[in-house]
Structure 1
Amino acid sequence: MLLYLLVEGIPLRSDRDADTLRIWAGERLEAGPRLPEHQLDARRYLLTSLVDDLLDADDPFTASMLRADLVRELAQFLLLACNRWLGSGKWLVRRLRDFDDGLATRLAAVADERDSQVIAAITAEPLAPHGGLLEEDFVR
């Protein structure tokens, strides 16, 4: 968040140090976060677990909680896998829309969808380029 404030905020002072800091922050934002492959795999494993739990859920409240977790975790995974910064709450939605508005729209549909099979299919599609759901041979 501090990087965004430095780059997008209105400076309270204008001098060489402030300009240098703003440039530095812009470079960090542009580079994005870089997660090790094992951390991305751990997130894929979590997503797989959430999909499996949702497919087995027979309580509507449990299913609602799992859908919410799945949407948030999937959005975070996709942003991180593409070296994009995260946000929380409304900022996660904004970061996702800035990255890929169509993807954000598809993920929003997961929150409203009640058919677990449809949700599993919607989840699998954006995960495919990143190795898909992780079901076997994962060691934490």
Structure 2
Amino acid sequence: MREHNKELAPIKAAQKFINTQFPHCDAALLAGSVVRGEATETSDLDIVIFDNNFSSSYRESLIDLGWKIEIFAHNLISYKAFFKSDYERARPSMPRMVSEGIVLKDNGVIEVIINEAEDILAKGPELWSIETIMAKRYFITDALDDFIGCDSRAEGIFIANTLAELLSEFMLRTNHRWVGASKWIVRSLRNYDVEFAERFVRAFDDFYKNGNKKQIIQLADFVLLPYGGRLFDGFSLGKNDPSP
């Protein structure tokens, strides 16, 4: 395994990498945790590259200059599909990287792309329909019932994981906010409401440490309350009523 000797600072390493490996690209950005000031010992360099000679988008991971590097490569059209996909799933990974990125190179194309990314982020995700909210209420209720009735510690851990994803998604989407996965669940919640995010973390931390379900149950009821609370009786999905 290659040893990581990070002799160059992130921006200098990224700049050297672009100059050496992609000298003819149209534009390049350094994004990710090193740009946000959130880098850790295991952080890598997220580099977004735009080159109209690329036939399609691709992603590649490698080690160079002592750094782990993640390449997100696009031509001047293909990135639009990623913007669209991220908007539809309400997880703006690509627009966020472009918006927050530090420009490493630009042949006059990056301003338009950054403006597109910032417009998407400012717009926010598409509002949920009443039908979608009802369906999400039902799925949260179903998982919550499983959680309340579960006597197995092992099973309870993974039901709690499901509830964390469902509840964070519901809270954020019903408030017209972007969602996240993994570490971005907490980050997205904090971007929305720091106090609620801390309550959310405390609830799940209490269960994982002490087996106490009470705070998660209360949290779920708090999240669902403005939309009618738990939903089971009368819920239907995909049923076609017979014509009179």
If the TM-score is normalised by the length of the shorter chain, which range does it land in? 0.7 to 0.9
Q: CA offsets per residue over residues 8-28 of structure 1, 9 Å max, x none?
A: 111233465421221221121
Deviation at 1:136, TM superposition (A): 2.5
Aligned to 2:170: 77
- Give how far 1:33 is off: 1.1
3-state DSSP class of the match of 1:11?
strand
Find out whether 1:129 has 2:226 as its counterpart: yes
| Alpha-carbon distance, 1:74 to partner | 0.4
Contact preservation (8 Å) 1:71, 1:108: no
Equivalent position to 1:48, from 124, 128, 141: 141
Task: Compute the TM-score of the two structures, normalised by the length of structure 1.
Answer: 0.88
The runs of 5 or more residues in structure 2 that have no matched partner are 1-92, 238-244
Q: Say whether the 8 Å CA contact 1:81–1:130 is kept in structure 2.
A: no
- % same residue: 28
Alignment partner of 1:28 out of 107, 120, 125:
120
Larger Rg belongs to: 2
The count of aligned residue pairs is: 140
1:109 aligns with 2:202: yes
The alignment partner of 1:134 has SS state of coil
Task: Name the SS of the counterpart of 1:47 in structure 2.
Answer: helix
Bigger proportion of residues as helix: 1
CA distance in 1, matches of 2:235, 2:123: 29
* Matched residue, 1:7: 99
The TM-score normalised by the length of structure 2 is 0.53
Partner of 2:191: 98
Which residues of structure 1 form unaligned runs of 5+? none
Write 1 or 2 for the structure with the bigger share of strand: 2
Higher RCO by CA contacts (8 Å cutoff, separation 6 or greater):
1
Say yes or no: does 1:89 pair with 2:182. Answer: yes
Asked whether 1:18 is paired with 2:110, we answer yes
Q: Name the CA distance, whole Å, in 2 between partners of 1:38 and 1:12.
A: 45
Aligned CA-pair RMSD: 1.8
Matched, 1:138 2:231: no
